[in-house]
Amino acid sequence: MKVLLLIFAYLLGAVPFGYLLFRLSEKRDIRSYGSQSTGATNVLRLKGWRYAIPVAVFDILKGAFPPLLALRLFSDFDLALACALALVLGHCFPVYIKFRGGKGVAATVGAYAVLGLKPLLLSLIVFVLLIVMTRFVSLGSLLAALSFPPFVLLFGEPRKLALLGLIIFGLIFFKHWGNLKRLLAGRERKFGERTSL
Q: What pLDDT, in 10s, does the model give residues 130-162?
A: 999 999 999 999 999 999 999 999 999 999 999
Residue that wins the pLDDT comparison between 85 and 181? 85
- Terminal alpha carbon distance of the chain: 44
Predicted structure pTM score = 0.93
Distances (CA, A) of 124 to 5, 96, 128, 144, 182: 28, 30, 6, 7, 23
Assign 197 a pLDDT band (cuts: 50, 70, 90): low
Q: What is the distance between the alpha carbons of residues 26 and 91, in angstroms, rounded to a whole number?
A: 22
